Structures are given as structure tokens and as C-alpha cells.
Amino acid sequence: MAALDPSLIRDLPPFAGMATEELADLLQRARALRQPRGATVFEQDGEAHSFFVLLDGHIRVVRTTPEGQQVTVRYISEGEIFGIAAALGRTTYPATAIAAADCVILAWPTAQWAELSTRHPALGANTYKTVGGRLQDAHTRVVEMSTEQVEQRVAHALLRLVNQTGRRTEDGIEIDFPITRQDIAEMTGATLHTVSRLLSAWESRGLVSSGRRRVVVVDPHRLMLIAESRERE
Amino acid sequence: MAALDPSLIRDLPPFAGMATEELADLLQRARALRQPRGATVFEQDGEAHSFFVLLDGHIRVVRTTPEGQQVTVRYISEGEIFGIAAALGRTTYPATAIAAADCVILAWPTAQWAELSTRHPALGANTYKTVGGRLQDAHTRVVEMSTEQVEQRVAHALLRLVNQTGRRTEDGIEIDFPITRQDIAEMTGATLHTVSRLLSAWESRGLVSSGRRRVVVVDPHRLMLIAESRERE
DNA sequence: ACGCGAGTTTGCGCGACCGCAAACTCCCCC
DNA sequence: GGGGGAGTTTGCGGTCGCGCAAACTCGCGT
């Protein structure tokens, strides 16, 4: 296999503060893979054989209940590490990861985590920092679910997506991968019907512009007002 | 200050797999403190000066929204490590910790985390395992909030408390610290009115027995049936 | 080019749960 | 021992958002 170039990953958060030789050492043990939209990268309760870094594309992480209800736990963007069950003392993945767009991914065998993270302490530190951020994000979601109405939650979710993955267009900021009403519903604990109604209403007020698998936030400022406005007090 | 005995902490999860000399080294740098019920151990957004292990009592971790709404993020039980913002790359605490009962706590300066966790690798590993568990718990809560009705959520919350902190009594299993309807409401994203109604109904059906700041689960099995029964499908 | 399915829109009715309000009760403290 | 306040109970009305159903539309694949 052709060696991958350290410059590929040098600027990604998981590898911050690492020397070029360290990056080369890491890359040498990595396997690169492509996943088309809709492909499953790993499966809930499956053995955690690998951990990953997303080079390009977007990944949706989904938890499925015993009753078959799906809840989107988070979206992974370019440059993020994911599937790190092993670093947290798990042996199986707690959720399913699905490519929300065509993806390019680096994968390392879970078995090497211990060795790699001690040999490259920066990797461990960066990873745990990420985990800390995700724990906070999760708590933030719990707080939102507890205190906000559906309208605010959907507005917050869109703003988060736009911040994370927004791409400027002439109309406004577009979410950079195909996303359905159903997806948004699974992020916010609403139904796709309610999400559809909200988007329609916002569209007619000029806040967003959306279509089939496509959402553009036209007026982030006014959307922010909705997100922050009169929660239950 | 009298030296603390390693046997105090030997059997606690954060210190699993550590030699007696290591425990002594850790204890030497720890400060023991007592906090009466209601006392604040650390405050949201305050500088993360210390991390802690709870030796006795119970601690409620609360996140407050800008609007003043409170949401209980989790309860800490005996033997758990908490306030570990530093290990996750934070410099401030993301929530407030309040003693739910009189507590005995060990505290270490945050500044020593790096040194201690490298000198005692088991401490780091145990801690990150705990963090992994909490991340999963948080996601589980998100899923519950998304898919379950209030009745199921309250039932789940009680069962979790009972598992975590239950004390056998002749009537059933009692939650081992004073807990109000309001507290339960803040855990589940409900109002204290609704929680009160549910407890009253369950009491009349013989599932629980509760009073002022006191909840006893009489029939965990039937409560489980409620928790798992017909979620939105 | 066209058909089919995935994704979306919209209407209607209803029920769970909140919001407000008021009364009650127990326990703690002076 | 007797306030007084914290914690709890209960009623009532309103509404947000779900559940169900049906129609529509776009775009992908062959």
C-alpha cells in the first residue's frame, strides 16, 4: 500500500502537537477506507475492533432502542476521532455509525490503542479532551430536552449543524450533507411531521430555505432568536 | 494532619489495581473534607481547582440554564470520582455539585492530575473508564428523553436510584438520601406536580411508599414493567 | 423517458402534561 | 408548644405536539 503523507492529518485536532515522525508512525499502522453514503461503519453492540478518524464526509451516530426507535446521538465531521470505545474501557460499540455522505476514513485496530496512546501522549490527551467535550455536549442535550419546546430544540439543532458543517452559499449557509426531516426529528426527539411543519413555517418567514434532503439557513440571527426565546420559565 | 489509611480507599473503583504504596502516595496529597447536606462542593463555571472522590454521602450534580432552570445531570454515590474537568481538558466545572446528604470527600488539587495519573496509570485508566460509562449514561438519558413518556422516565429514574443507592428495608428498597419530588422532576424533565401525581398513583397501587423527602420502592418488578411498557412505537 | 419509491406536506383530533392556584401537612426551630 | 415554612397533594383548563391518514412531488435508476 502506498504510504500516506503526514500532511494529510497534521492539522487535525486528534493529532495536534505531534511531530511529523509521530504522524508517520501512526499512518503506517492505519488503514484507509472509503464508505459510500448509507454504509455502516460500525454497529451497535458489535465488537469494537477499530477506532477511526474521519478525513472527509459526515457520519451519523445512532442509538437504537430495543423497541426499534432510533435516536441520533451526534454527527461526526471532518477531522474528528470516533469509535473510541476501547479508550473508554468498552469492548463493544455503544451505537451505530452510518455514513451520512460519502466518506474517507482512517482506521486503526483497537488492540493498538494502548500502545499508540502511550507512545504518543498527545494523541491520548487530545482524545480525552474530545471525550470531555462530548460529555458536555450530551449533558447540554439533556438540558435542552428537559427545558425547551420542540421549536427551540429544532432551531438549536439546525444552528449546531450549520456551525459544525455549514457551507456558505448565495442564499445563506447550507448544511453540507444530505439531511432529511426524519434525521432532524431523530436529533431532536420530535416527529418528522412536526419538523416539516416548523421548516415550512420558517421557510414562509424567510428564515430557512429547504428542499428534498437539503436545508439552508438564510437568517441565522433570527433563527437564534427563536432558539433562545422564551423557554419554559 | 493524621495520615489516612490506605484501607479506606483500597476497594473503591477509582483505585482498583493499585498497590498499597501507591494508595499511600495518593492519600498523602489528598485533603479530606466534610460537607453538610445542602453545601456546595463546586460551582458551575467556577475554576476547576480540585478533583474529588466521594467517601460517604451522596452528591447531586446540577446544570443551571441561563434562564435559571435547573436540571440534575447525575447523582454521585460513595466511591465515585467526580469534578474531573481537568482530566478532560477543561479549566472550569461544567456544573454545580451539591451535597444531597452529609458527605465525606477527598480532594486533590487539579494541578496534580497530570503527575498523579502518569505516576499511577491505573488511576487514569479507571477514570477514563468511568468517563466512558458516564458518556453512555448521558446518551441513554437523551434516548429516554426522546422516546419515553414522563411515566416511563420517572420509573426508570427511580429504578436507577434504587440500584445505585438502594438500602433494603422491611417495606422494600429505600433511596438512601433525602430526595424531593422537585429533585425527581429535575432528573426527568417533568414538573414536581406530575411527579407527585405519579407517586400518588403508584402508592395506591402498592408499587412505592413515599413521604416527605423519602421514597421506598416496594415492588421493583412491577415498576420495571411500567418503565419498559409501551413506549411510543 | 418514465415509473416507482423515498421524502415531504398538510389536515384533523386527541391526549399527555404543563401552568396556575389553593389547600394541606409535617417537621423544624425558636 | 406553637408558629412558620418547606414539601406535598389535588383540581382544572389549556395547548403543544403526537398519531394517523392521505395526497403530493421530486429524482433516481433502468
Among B4-8, B13-17, B84-88, the minimum mean pLDDT is found in B4-8
At A97, which amino acid appears?
Answer: A
Structural contact between residues B44 and B72, judged by C-beta atoms closer than 8 angstroms: no
Using pLDDT thresholds of 50, 70 and 90, give the confidence band for residue B229: confident
A155: distance to nearest CA of chain B, Å? 16
Residue B188's pLDDT is what? 98
Question: How long is the CA B154 to C1' D7 vector, in angstroms?
Answer: 19
Q: Return residues 17-56 of A near B (CB < 8 Å).
A: none
- Confidence band (pLDDT; 50, 70, 90) for B232? low
Alpha-carbon span B126 to B112, nearest angstrom: 17
pLDDT given for residue B231 in this prediction? 59
Would the CB atoms of B88 and A138 count as touching at under 8 Å? Answer: no
pLDDT higher than 90, residue B90: yes
Tell me the count of A-B CB pairs closer than 8 A: 122
**A 120-149 residues with CB below 8 A of B?**
125, 128-129, 131-136, 138-139, 141-143, 145-147
Q: Which nucleotides of D are covered by protein (CB under 7 A)?
A: 7-11, 16-21, 26-27
Determine the pLDDT at residue A147.
96
Q: Which of B225, B154, B204 has the alpha carbon at shortest distance from B184?
A: B154
**Mean pLDDT computed over every residue of chain B:** 95
- Whole-angstrom distance, CA of residue A71 vs CA of residue B198: 26
Distance CA B11, CA A122 (A): 31
pLDDT tens for B151-199 read 999 999 999 999 999 999 999 999 999 999 999 999 999 999 999 999 9
Which residues in B28-44 are b (16+ Cβ under 10 Å) and which e?
A: eebeeeebeeeeebbee
Contact A142 B69 (CB under 8 A): no
Set of chain B residues whose Cβ sits within 8 Å of the Cβ of A67: 147, 231, 233
Kindly report the backbone phi and psi dihedral angles of residue A21, in degrees, each rounded to the nearest multiple of 5, phi listed first. Answer: -65, -35
Give, in degrees to the nearest 5, the angle at Cα A86 between B105 and A41.
135
Q: Residues A98, A104, A108, A114: is their CA dihedral positive or negative?
A: negative
pLDDT above 90 covers a percentage of chain B that reads 94
* Distance separating the N- and C-terminal Cα atoms of chain B: 59
A44 CA vs C5 C1’ separation (Å): 28
Q: Which domains does chain A have, with CATH numbers?
A: 6-136 (2.60.120.10), 148-228 (1.10.10.10)
Distance between B6 CA and the closest CA of chain A, angstroms:
25
Interface of A with B in 83-112 (CB under 8 A): 85, 87-90, 94-95
Contacts of B52 by beta carbon, 8 Å cutoff, 6+ apart: B41, B81, B82, B83, B97, B105, B106, B107, B108
Q: What is the DSSP letter of A3?
A: P
**Amino acid identity for residue A163 in this structure:** N
User: Cell 494541578 identifies what position?
Assistant: B111
| pLDDT of B109 over the 90 cut | yes
B139/A89 CB distance under 8 A: no
pLDDT value for A190: 98
Tell me the shortest Cα–Cα distance from A72 to chain B, in angstroms.
9
Which residues in chain B are contacts of A138 at CB distance < 8 A?
135, 138-139, 141-142
In this structure, are residues B103 and B76 in contact, taking their beta carbons and an 8 Å threshold?
no
Dig out the grid coordinates for A72 from the structure.
441520533
Average pLDDT over residues B63-83: 95
Four-CA torsion B178, B182, B185, B187, nearest 10 degrees? -50
- CA of A198 vs chain B CAs: smallest distance (Å): 18
> From residues 91-150 of A, which are strand C contacts by CB within 7 A?
none
pLDDT of residue B2: 59
Q: Is the distance between the Cβ of B191 and the closest atom of strand C smaller than 7 Å? A: yes
Q: Average pLDDT across each block of 10 residues of chain A; the chain has 233 residues. List them in order.
A: 82 96 95 94 97 97 93 97 95 97 96 95 95 97 97 98 94 95 98 98 96 96 92 53
Protein-covered nucleotides of chain C (CB closer than 7 Å) are 7-11, 16-21, 26-27
Q: Searching chain A, which residue's CA lies closest to the CA of residue B84?
A: A132
